[in-house]
C-alpha cells in the first residue's frame, strides 16, 4: 500500500472521520520486539520509520514501516505494511473483523490467479502485541484514484489522463474482476465464506448476513426508513434465476487498486469478499464510480462535468462479456443491492463520526446515508437513465 491508499468515503467531505487512537512510539517498540522474534536469524532488528497514513481506512488500521536489520554483515531494509483489526471500543464499521480470513484470501488469490496481490508474510493472532490481531505484508508503490476529493472532481492523475489511458485502466480493472471470478471451486478455496445461514443460495445467505448487519447498526433505535424500503424492494424483486456463485472481491472498485502506468500492481481491501453471482462485483465497480460522478454533477457543474465517459454500465459489462463469454444480467437489481450495502456502511460511519464528536447525530437517520439520493432514484427507476 502507499500513502495514496484510501477507502470509499462520503463524496462531499474533505476530512476523514477519525480511525485510531494509537501511540506511535509504543507501537514502534512493540513491532520491533515482535519482528525480532519473527526473524531470529536477523541481527539488530529495528523500525526506521513508522507512519499511520492520513488516509487510514475506516474499517481497520494500516501501519506502514520500514524494517531494518543486519544480515551477513549487510544492512537490509524491507518496506512493510501491517493491517490491524479495529478496536471494538471505537465503534468499528463491521460487526466482526476476520483478519485471518483476509490473510487467507490474499494467499489463495495469489496461489490461484495472476491478480497482483501484495505478498503476505505473517499473521499474528496474539492481541497482546498491538492490542488486536494483525498481519504483515509487503509494501508496494503506486498510485490510487483518490476518494477525498473523489477523482471525478478533477485535480488528480486519473482525471488528467488521456481518455485512452482512462479506458485502459477501466478495462484492466474489469479484467481483474473477471480473473477473480474464474477461480475454480471457490467453496473449497474459501470455505469460511460459505456462511452458516438458513437461506438456500449463496447470494441469499449473503443478503441475509447484511440484513443482520443492518439490525446491528440500528440497535440504537435509529432505524432507517430508506434502507428498510430498499431491503424490502430487494426481496420483492429477487431475480428469477440466480447465476452460479463465484468468488467475489466484494469491494471491487478502482479506489481499492494501486496502479502503475495505468495497470494494476496491487489489489487491496478484502474484508467484504463473498460467494455470490458475478454481478455483485460488476455492479459495485460501476456504481461506486457513478456515486462519485453524481456528486460532481450535483456540486461541480452539471452532467458534462466530471468523468461521465468512465465506467459506463454498457462498456463495463461488454468488456466483462468479451473476457469471460458470460453475459451479465439483472444489473439494476444488483446495483441497488450494492447501493443499499453502501448505505448501511455509511450509516454506520455516521454513527462513528458522532462517537468521535466530529458530526452531530441528525434528527433524520437517513441524513447519515451518504448515497441517499442515489438509492432514492434507483427505487424510483430513474438512476441509470442517460448513463448507458
Q: Which of the residues are catalytic?
A: 251
Following DSSP, what letter does each residue of 205-268 receive, concatenated?
A: HHHHHHHHHHHHHTTTS---HHHHHHHHHHHHT--SSPPPPEEE-SS-SGGGEEEETTEEEEE-
**Residue 145, CA atoms < 13 Å, CB-side half-sphere:** 29
Phi, psi (deg, nearest 5) at residue 150: -55, 140
DSSP-derived secondary structure letter, 379: H
Report the alpha-carbon distance of residue 226 to residue 229 in Å, rounded: 5
- Asked if residue 335 lies in contact with residue 342, where contact means CB atoms within 8 angstroms, the answer is no
Cell numbers for 172: 484492466
- Asked if residue 47 lies in contact with residue 68, where contact means CB atoms within 8 angstroms, the answer is yes
CA distances from 186 to 99, 108, 109, 257, 269 (A): 19, 10, 10, 22, 18
Amino acid at each position: 500500500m502507499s500513502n495514496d491508499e484510501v477507502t470509499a468515503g462520503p463524496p462531499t467531505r474533505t476530512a476523514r472521520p477519525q480511525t485510531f487512537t494509537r501511540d506511535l512510539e509504543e507501537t514502534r517498540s512493540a513491532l520491533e520486539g515482535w519482528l525480532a522474534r519473527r526473524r531470529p536469524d536477523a541481527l539488530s532488528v529495528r523500525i526506521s520509520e513508522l507512519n499511520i497514513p492520513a488516509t487510514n481506512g475506516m474499517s481497520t488500521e494500516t501501519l506502514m514501516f520500514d524494517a531494518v536489520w543486519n544480515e551477513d554483515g549487510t544492512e537490509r531494509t524491507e518496506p512493510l505494511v501491517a493491517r490491524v483489526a479495529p478496536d471494538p471500543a471505537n465503534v468499528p464499521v463491521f460487526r466482526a473483523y476476520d483478519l485471518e480470513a483476509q490473510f487467507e484470501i490474499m494467499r489463495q488469490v495469489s496461489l490461484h490467479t495472476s491478480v497482483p496481490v501484495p505478498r503476505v508474510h505473517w499473521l499474528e493472532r496474539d492481541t497482546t502485541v498491538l492490542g488486536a490481531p494483525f498481519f504483515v505484508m509487503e509494501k508496494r508503490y503506486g498510485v490510487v484514484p483518490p476518494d477525498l476529493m473523489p477523482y471525478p472532481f478533477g485535480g488528480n492523475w486519473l482525471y488528467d489522463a488521456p481518455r485512452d489511458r482512462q479506458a485502459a485502466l477501466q478495462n484492466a480493472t474489469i479484467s481483474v474482476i473477471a480473473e477473480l471470478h474464474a477461480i475454480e471451486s471457490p467453496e473449497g478455496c474459501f470455505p469460511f465464506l460459505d456462511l452458516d445461514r438458513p437461506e438456500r443460495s449463496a447470494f441469499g445467505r449473503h443478503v441475509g448476513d447484511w440484513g443482520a448487519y443492518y439490525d446491528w447498526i440500528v440497535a440504537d433505535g435509529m432505524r432507517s426508513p430508506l434502507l428498510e424500503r430498499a431491503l424490502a424492494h430487494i426481496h420483492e424483486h429477487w431475480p428469477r434465476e440466480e447465476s452460479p456463485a463465484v468468488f467475489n472481491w466484494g469491494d471491487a472498485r478502482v479506489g481499492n487498486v494501486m496502479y502503475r502506468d495505468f495497470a494494476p500492481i496491487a489489489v487491496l481491501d478484502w474484508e467484504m469478499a463473498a460467494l455470490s453471482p458475478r454481478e455483485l462485483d460488476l455492479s459495485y465497480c460501476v456504481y461506486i464510480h457513478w456515486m462519485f460522478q453524481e456528486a460532481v454533477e450535483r456540486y461541480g457543474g452539471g452532467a458534462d462535468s466530471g468523468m461521465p465517459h468512465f465506467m459506463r454500465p454498457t462498456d463495463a459489462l461488454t468488456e466483462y462479456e468479451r473476457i469471460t463469454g458470460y453475459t451479465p444480467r439483472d444489473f439494476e437489481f444488483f446495483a441497488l443491492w450494492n447501493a443499499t450495502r453502501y448505505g448501511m456502511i455509511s450509516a454506520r460511519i455516521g454513527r462513528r463520526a458522532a462517537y468521535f464528536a466530529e458530526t452531530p447525530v441528525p434528527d433524520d437517520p437517513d441524513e447519515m446515508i451518504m448515497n441517499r439520493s442515489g438509492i432514492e432514484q434507483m427505487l424510483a427507476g430513474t438512476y441509470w437513465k442517460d448513463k448507458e
